[in-house]
Amino acid sequence: MDQSYSSIKPNQEILTYEPTADEKKTKIGKYTIRRLFEGELDEQDNAAINKFLEEAGPFQNPIWTRPQILRFLQANNFKKDQTIQTMQQYEEWVKTLPISFDQQVEQFLKAGIIYIQGRDHSYRPIIVLNAYKVNFNEMSLEQYLKGLTYFLQVVVNDMMVPGRVENWVILIDLDYKGMIGLQINALKQVMSYLQNNYRSRLYRMFIFNTTMMLNVTWNMAKLFLEEITQQKIIFVKGDVKQLFQSVNQEQIEQRFGGTQTNRVEFWPPSIVSANFRKNA
């Protein structure tokens, strides 16, 4: 990365924030999941890491710290072979980094496909993804992934605070486009890329402006999803109260029910309000 974006960097309030025990590790149904990996791990975490290392052998690459191994273990439901495979894929992907800021990246970032909106009550970055703008006829998959990688490296390097802020919130706008109006295969590739290379980063995903057909499809699909995944994905159907349980309205654009003016410029990144905590 060859640029730094001071306007979105954590202020002293964020740098000294003490996450609650539930923000570090929480129970969802029968699962206990860790949200913050850096810092002191507990006995259960260390036991899982030790068991994996005994069975899978040591990993020489210095990127595999104990917290990073745990991040991949959890993302793969602690399945050894699956974890090894995704770690190997991740090692190959890391070799392509860092991404330099060039004309292709700038074009992608200024298109408003994805941009930074603000932070939630726990200072997690809020990202907007305008899914209806994803169009491989206008930009190639290679350009999308290049721009997306640069964008998310900015989020990780300039907005995260290890041990305090390690997750993000994503707002997805479908603009009432149905299965025909959206480039589903393109979106699948983008979402798969996110899932594969940014393990255990998603805190919540709020999906806006969906069609009735997509709502029905989701209600059927979620019956086959684990409770952890169901809890992370929320279809917003008019009532935005669930979003504002964890986000101040000043952090959200008016089109999503907040008080922030709708954005027309998307890059360089900026945070309009420093009022991150609960609404008065």
User: What was the pLDDT predicted at 102?
Assistant: 96
Structure token digits, residue 60: 């020489």
Is residue 221 exposed (0-12), middle (13-18) or buried (19+ Cβ within 10 Å)? exposed
User: What was the pLDDT predicted at 248?
Assistant: 96
Residue 186 has pLDDT above 80, yes or no: no
Q: What is the mean pLDDT of residues 29-58?
A: 92
Identity of the amino acid at 240: V
User: What was the pLDDT predicted at 169?
Assistant: 97
Distance, CA of 71 to CA of 83 (rounded, Å): 10
User: What was the pLDDT predicted at 220?
Assistant: 60
Identity of the amino acid at 33: I
Q: What percent of the chain has pLDDT over 70?
A: 89
Mean pLDDT for the chain overall: 89
Beta strands in the chain (DSSP E): 25-28, 31-34, 114-119, 125-130, 168-173, 202-208, 233-235
User: What was the pLDDT predicted at 1?
Assistant: 47
Nearest residue to 172 via CA among 132, 203, 139: 132
Residue 221 has pLDDT above 70, yes or no: no
Q: What is the mean pLDDT of residues 207-222?
A: 71
In 172-207, which positions are buried (b, 16+ CB within 10 angstroms) versus exposed (e)?
bbbeebeeeebbeebbebbbebbeebbbbbbbbbbb
Residue 162 has pLDDT above 60, yes or no: yes
Angle, alpha carbons 37-39-42 (nearest 5°): 75
Residue 129 has pLDDT above 70, yes or no: yes
Residue 159 has pLDDT above 60, yes or no: yes
